[in-house]
Amino acid sequence: MTTAILSALPEEQSGLVGSLEQARRVTHAGRAFWQGVLHGKPVVLALSGMGKVAAATTATVLVERFGVARIVFTGVAGGLGDGVRVGDVVVALDYVQHDMDVSPLFQRWHVPGYAGVRLPCDAGLSAHLSGAVSACLQSAGGQFYVNSDGRPPQLHRGLVASGDQFVTSAQVSRALRDPLVAAGHDVLAVEMEGAAVAQVCLDYGVPFAAVRTISDRADDDAHVDFPVFIQTVASRYADHIVRHLLELL
C-alpha cells in the first residue's frame, strides 16, 4: 500500500527527500520519482510541476506506473477566504477549477463528464490529514509561523480552487472569489494543481487528499510573501504534517 506524496515545488519537497530511507530515484515522463520508506511506510515522492496539466501527468504516472494506493498533495496556496491567513493550513474537502467555463452548455466551473462543479477529495483520507494537521499545530504550531499579531496558525477545511494562474492582485483575487461565493461555493484558497489531481484520482478511483499552507493572500503583496514563505517555512510544514499522517495510515 504505497502512498504517493506530491508537491508542486522542490522547496516543498526537500525535507521529505532528506528523510527518505532506502531511497531510489526513478525518472519517467521527464520527472524524478523517489521511491523508499518514510517513517516506516512505503512511499513515492514526486513533484507535480506547476499547473493543471503537469500535475495531471504526474498523478497519472503515479497511478499507472507506480500503482500507488493513495495520493496526498502537500504544498502552498494563496488565501482567499476571510480569516485564512499566511501561515494557516487548509485541508481541501473538495476542489473547483476556477478557469473552467463551458457555460451556457454547463454551469460555470463544471468540468463536463463529472458529477458537479466540485470535485470531491476522499473523505476518510482527508479526515486523517486533518487529524495530522491538528496534531502538528497543537504540538509545534509555534515553530511554524506566528502572525505579526501573535496569532498561531489555524486549520481550515473546505473548498479550494485551482487554475493555471498565479494570483497576485487583490482585484484578480476578488474577481475569482466573489462569483464562486455568490454561487454558494465558499472558497478558502487558490493554487494551481490540486483540482487536476483530484480529477485524475476520481477517474481511477484512487483516494486523494490535499493540504495547503497559506504562503500569501493572493493579493498585491503575493509576489513578495510567496518566495519568503517558500524558502523559510513551507518544507517544515510538509515534513511535520506528512510524518503525523503516515503514523495514522
Among 4, 6, 8, 209, binds ligand SAH (CB under 6 A): 8
Cell (9 digits) for 213: 499552507
Does the footprint of ligand SAH cover residue 167 (CB under 6 A)? Answer: yes
Does the footprint of ligand SAH cover residue 216 (CB under 6 A)? Answer: yes
* Complex with ligand SAH: residue 72 or 192, whichever CB lies closer: 192
Give Cα 45 to chain centroid, integer Å: 14
Quote the CA–CA distance of 234 and 239 in Å, as a whole number: 9
Both ends of the chain: CA-CA distance in Å? 10
Helix (H, G, I), strand (E, B) or coil at 201: helix
Site string for ligand SAH, 196-215 (x = CB under 6 A): -------------------x
Closest among 79, 109, 97 to 188, alpha carbons compared: 79
Return the bridge partners of 154, or none: none
* Complex with ligand SAH: residue 122 or 191, whichever CB lies closer: 191
Does the annotation mark 247 as catalytic? no
Question: Got the DSSP string for 121-190?
Answer: PPHHHHHHHHHHHHHHHHHHHHHH---TT-PPP-EEEEEEEE-S-----HHHHHHHHHHHHHTT--EEEE
Does the annotation mark 11 as catalytic? no
Least Å from the CB of residue 154 to ligand SAH: 18
Does the footprint of ligand SAH cover residue 50 (CB under 6 A)? Answer: yes
Out of 11, 216, 219, 225, which one is annotated catalytic? 216
Among 20, 54, 76, 180, binds ligand SAH (CB under 6 A): 76
Q: Which residues would be at the binding site for ligand SAH (CB under 6 A)?
A: 8-9, 50, 75-78, 166-167, 190-193, 215-216, 218, 222, 226-227
Would you please indicate which residues are annotated as catalytic (active-site) residues?
12, 216
